[in-house]
Amino acid sequence: MTIEHHPSDATLAEYAAGTLDAGSRLVVGTHTAKCPQCRRAVQQFESVGGALLAELPPTPMQPDALAKTLSRLDEAPAEDATAAAAHAAHDDMPWLPDGLRDREFGPWRWIGIGVEQRSVKVAGADSARVFLLRAKPGVKLPVHVHTGIERTQVLAGAFIHDGGRFGAGDFDDAEGDVEHNPRVDEGETCICLVAMTGGIRMTGPIGRLIQPFLRL
């Protein structure tokens, strides 16, 4: 797998600092799990953050902090039967990374011609919707802009827009002022993991016509 497109430095810095929303963190983490270059960048940001923390004055701990921590070591790990069942139930999605196999998914639902969406349950993802997006080869979406931020990790297939070709392993950071006119590459269904804040607004005459029917 050759990865050509990566999260921005700002996104990776937020990821390293733990300040990304839960949905975006899942998408960026899915990318870094497969990308040595971005893992190194995250480690560098973490080292810088650690050095800055080391220069801060110490903060006193609560008197019972050590006792509470030691008591948790004796707690038996809880068995997550739901996660284990979900992991086994995703055998129909061979392209699904291991880091997503314990997630709960909604059903696939139609959102446009040749395009389906499947929600991904992420605890604490209040500010971003997280979902799988599946589009058939050759499908072309109308020109649109984002009203928020969209972070996309390609899991299978590829799509093309003005920013280039994004294949399996690639990451696309889309800000609200970026105009998109993506087209799915021929030959293979494109499947992406997406975290999106806000929504999308169609800009062309055809897009404005179908906007009320596009459920994304």
Sheet holding 183-184, edge to edge: 164-167, 158-161, 183-184
Q: Which two tokens stand for residue 160?
A: 């093309």
Using one digit for the tens of pLDDT, what is the confidence trace for 150-194?
A: 899 999 999 999 889 999 999 998 876 666 778 999 999 999 999
DSSP state of 107: -
Using one digit for the tens of pLDDT, what is the confidence trace for 37-54?
A: 999 999 999 987 655 555
Using one digit for the tens of pLDDT, what is the confidence trace for 86-104?
A: 445 576 788 899 889 989 9
pTM of the model: 0.77
The dihedral built from the CA positions of residue 5, 46, 16 and 49, taken in this order, carries a sign that is negative
Closest residue by Cα to residue 38 from 2, 7, 14: 7
Q: Between 127 and 86, where is the model more confident?
A: 127
For residue 175, what pLDDT is reported?
A: 74
For residue 42, what pLDDT is reported?
A: 96
Distance between alpha carbon 11 and the CA centroid of its chain, in Å?
Answer: 12
Q: Between 147 and 75, where is the model more confident?
A: 147
Q: Which two tokens stand for residue 102?
A: 């314990």
